[in-house]
Amino acid sequence: MIKLVAFDCDGVLFDSLQANIAFYNAILAHFGRPPLTPAAQDYSHSHTVGESLEHLFRGYPDLEAVLQFARSFDYTPFIAMMVEEPHLREFLRFLRPDRFTALATNRSTTTRAVLTYHGLTDDFDLVVSAQDVSRPKPHPESFVRILEHFRLLPEEAIYIGDSTVDEKFAANAGVPFVAYRNPDLAANYYLDSFAAGPDLIRGLIHHQSFEPRRKS
């Protein structure tokens, strides 16, 4: 039986692509660099801010100045640009209190501010951000911490994500993976809307196979 449902943040709880693009473009503009390319948008959307800045500023002579500026840069205006996914709250209410809920994200210092701003802090029993671990996703450290916290086995949990980083993260942790609105990922299950979340959970109660597959 599934006892824990864990979520990614960006692209799952929120459509935050435009917020992230605006954030990184503002930093790039400050240092006289061109805006994000489509490939850079994809990369920065699923990696930590440190990894993203290192990627975006490859060859820049003073990366530490970039990182220092980013640490002092106020992300608050960009939080308001994040759009909550439809039916998310109904799904979270459906899950609790019968199942634990957790968040495993490569966001760092902004994670709790995002949840507070959008009024979702009380909807998660545990939040693990990149700031809380030494090795971010796709390394399984975040999920190991979650499983240890709730004293659960990997097969008693699922992870809902939308990127290849999430796909690898779930595989590394040995946790069944639910691809959210991304049929190109190798996943155990696919979810196009949180409106269908309750049916997914009910179906998992009777489903025995967790072999990864691609959507046909």
pLDDT of residue 46: 87
Query: What average pLDDT does the chain have?
Result: 93
Q: Is 51 found in the same domain as 145?
A: no
Query: Does residue 213 lie in a domain region?
Result: no
Which of 55, 77, 99 is the last residue in one of the domains? 77
Cα 202 to Cα 1, 36, 88, 205, distances in angstroms: 10, 41, 17, 5
* 202 and 96 both lie in a single domain: yes
- pLDDT tens across 26-69, in order? 999 999 999 999 999 999 988 999 999 999 999 999 999 999 99
Residue 12 has pLDDT above 70, yes or no: yes
Tell me which residue range forms the domain holding 40: 17-77
- What pLDDT is stored for residue 109 in this prediction? 86
Can you give the pLDDT at residue 211? Answer: 46
Classify residue 202 as exposed, middle or buried by CB count within 10 Å of its CB (0-12, 13-18, 19+).
Answer: exposed
**Which residues, other chains included, contact 174 with Cβ-Cβ below 8 Å and sequence gap of 6+?**
140, 154, 155
The answer as to whether 215 is a domain residue is: no
154: in domain: yes
pTM: predicted TM-score of the whole model, two decimal places:
0.88
Helix segments in 96-216, DSSP class H: 111-117, 141-150, 164-173, 197-206
Q: Say if residue 47 is in the same domain as residue 143.
A: no
Q: Looking at the 3D structure of the chain, how many domains does it have?
A: 2
